[in-house]
Structure 1
Amino acid sequence: METSAARSYTGRITVSDLRIEVAPDVDLPAGARVTDPVVVTDGTVDGRPLRVAVMSDAQFVARDPDSPLIEAARRTLAEIAEARPELLVINGDLVDEGSPADFALARRLLDEFDARTGGRVPGHYVPGNHEIMGPGSTVNFEAAFGETTSVFDAKGTRFITLNTSTGTLRGGGFAQLQLLHDQLAAAAEDKSVSGVVLFEHHPTQDPLPDKASQLGDRKEAALVQQWLADFRTGSHKSAAFVGSHVGVFHAGSVDGVPYLVNGNSGKNPAGAPDNGGFTGWTMLGIEPSEGRTSDLFDVPSDDAGMWLRAEVHARTDAVSLSAPERLHVGERSEAAATVTQDGTRTVPVAWPMSADWGGARVDVVGDDHDGRSGGAPVVSFDPASGTLLARRAGTAVLRVTVNGVSAQRQITVRKH
């Protein structure tokens, strides 16, 4: 990966006797979509003691100060300020070219954020590949924001941020690999720590088919995954990894450790809208008391959601909800919602997007909130399947809220 915009290359390729072998067309069965429950699809993480906002990949430039990318970054920071998290992590590629002017503008946006929050939300900036895109090194980043790695604790959780700006960990210096090793060992022995969260701009695994946005050194990726798994089983404490860079939102687990990918906060997504390809940000909700196990022969539950859940906030201009107006008792039907972004992108409200379903006289199945339906439920709704069930005669109001924007539909249930 060439990180210097000043370098260019020319050459010539001559191809002779070109032949192509094309595989025959086949009809493959549709594979089941794999989703990870660490992402909240119905509810919020508002009740968790430690909430950490994550944004990345705005990729604005100072020479275009009125661009939609800067507006998107400002909007994201305003939404995060309104949510009042305990911490903010910018997980790389906030700027595009890594110039001193870019970082000066980034500092101005973060000063605006501090003014909104009264300086009560500490911020941590993790360098990505675009933070070195101009100079080819972190020199401008360090001049503006200091060290490229960090370690800090909050409410019993240790946070470690590493520098993958060159696409590898070793590109940021072998010392940070030693840092990760030593901090995991220290966290394992520290009785005040119940879990560890590791931030890097490049994820260990790219969920898209081309695999173009993961750590370039696959041995490094395997090493990180092995160390986090070993920490979890050896210390009986929880661990998680948060990456970005891919251009989609995603989550999966390896050996009981959640691996989250935060999507773009400004730049257009790299994937399809129904596959995490939308813009927004993530709120991590951590329950420190669930990170550690008391049984020396046990490890933290495979349900990592007891310790960590992720609420994915899609940038939302409007929400549209489709549901039947009338049903008969015992009848089943479907309801679905979509989000409109930037006036052109339509995204289904489904994993990995978070939403909050509810309403009057609606029993939401498998929800993450208190389940109050505002009276005896007239209908039941399962957000995972989109299934509505008419339970008794009456009138219900189904409502969905995505990132603070709501839509609702009235449903009348009659007897046969």
Structure 2
Amino acid sequence: MEQLRIAQVSDLHVLKDYRNSMFDRLPLLQTELPANYVQVALREIAEAKPDILVLTGDLVHEGSAADYRFLKMLIDRYCDGIPVLPVLGNHDLKQSFYRGYLNEDRTGRYYYKHEQNGYRFLVIDTAVERNGCGDISSEQIDWLEQELSHASENGTILLGHHPLQSRQAWFHTDYDARLGDILEKSDVIAYLCGHAHYAEDCTICGIRQITAESCAFGVETVSDTDVIYTHTRGYNTCWLENREIIVHQHQMFPVHPQICRFAF
């Protein structure tokens, strides 16, 4: 049986210094900084030793190259030796990401392929900087069509930031209808995404869409026009067994509600 264990962390919103940022104006976040929870998640993930770590967007909150270097330092500190696949979100400034995280001088959408244990990961960039709604460009759809024209050994996992559809009403994702036809005929097992700050698990375009909770703070749509921020924070572990995927949602709290620990 082919197996792969994926740790999925989404919507990290890391900054080296949160002063003069959006977080400085929100009482919920002034003392419980997202970077602190990211470190909690990374420590737990390092102890669990997954095969791969995927970061499904909003890695940094509209920060500089120095903020991406800070994030890279945290990942290297806690998860050194674990392959990491970053995805860009709408709060990621692409040029800062390229310079700080990849040490490259380039622009444009960030999409790529990674193969591991016979599984193929296709990473797309659904994000327009500072725009809450998603957009999948025709160029990326062409690329997906080419990549998915032949099956991978054990199947494909698609990674992006924005859900194709969501119960959250405050955003939408634009894409050509042919993307649905491509996915329905493909070997894609699941699409892992974030952005909603709200855990969801549903079927879209014939594939399973797994939206991770945010690592920074939760968001709940309470009406057609209003949302609330919450203390809900988490990340996912996804176990792949052949083409079946099992998801465990880890919740993080200001004080971890652990009663005891025992060996078996």
**TM-score using structure 2 length:** 0.78
Could you tell me which runs of 5 or more consecutive residues in structure 2 were left unpaired when the two chains were aligned: 20-30, 103-108, 129-133, 222-229
- Secondary structure of the residue aligned to 1:226 is helix
Deviation at 1:281, TM superposition (A): 0.4
Contact 2:159 2:193 in 1 (8 A): yes
Matched, 1:86 2:37: no
When residues 404 and 84 of structure 1 are mapped into structure 2, their CA distance, relative to the original with a 3 A threshold, is farther
1:63 & 1:284 partners in 2: Cα distance? 32
1:83 & 1:259 partners in 2: Cα distance? 24
Deviation at 1:160, TM superposition (A): 0.4
2:81 & 2:76 partners in 1: Cα distance? 12
Could you tell me which runs of 5 or more consecutive residues in structure 1 were left unpaired when the two chains were aligned: 1-46, 133-137, 232-236, 292-306, 316-340, 344-402, 408-416
Within the candidate set 36, 44, 56, 2:10 is matched to: 56
How is 1:55-134 mapped onto 2 (pairs within 5 angstroms)? 55-64=9-18, 68-114=33-79, 119-132=80-93
Aligned residues: 231
Q: CA RMSD in A?
A: 2.7
Deviation at 1:194, TM superposition (A): 2.3
Identity of aligned residues (%): 24
2:66 & 2:54 partners in 1: Cα distance? 21
Contact 2:56 2:193 in 1 (8 A): yes
How is 1:98-247 mapped onto 2 (pairs within 5 angstroms)? 98-114=63-79, 119-132=80-93, 138-146=94-102, 148-166=110-128, 167-170=134-137, 174-186=138-150, 188=151, 190=152, 193-208=153-168, 210=169, 212-215=170-173, 217=174, 219-220=175-176, 222-231=177-186, 237=187, 239-247=189-197
1:52 & 1:126 partners in 2: Cα distance? 15
Matched, 1:259 2:196: no
Matched, 1:271 2:220: yes
2:171 & 2:48 partners in 1: Cα distance? 29
Contact 1:53 1:87 in 2 (8 A): yes
Given residue 178 of structure 1, which amino acid in structure 2 is its aligned partner?
Answer: D
Contact 1:247 1:277 in 2 (8 A): no
1:80 & 1:404 partners in 2: Cα distance? 17
Deviation at 1:255, TM superposition (A): 5.5
- Alpha-carbon displacement from aligned partner over 1:214-246 (angstroms, at most 9, x marks no partner): 31x1x43x4433321121xxxxx4521111000
Larger Rg: 1
Contact 1:249 1:278 in 2 (8 A): no
- Alpha-carbon displacement from aligned partner over 1:95-149 (angstroms, at most 9, x marks no partner): 10131221121111112123xxxx33111110111112xxxxx111112334821
When residues 54 and 48 of structure 1 are mapped into structure 2, their CA distance, relative to the original with a 3 A threshold, is farther
2:100 & 2:249 partners in 1: Cα distance? 29
When residues 255 and 177 of structure 1 are mapped into structure 2, their CA distance, relative to the original with a 3 A threshold, is closer
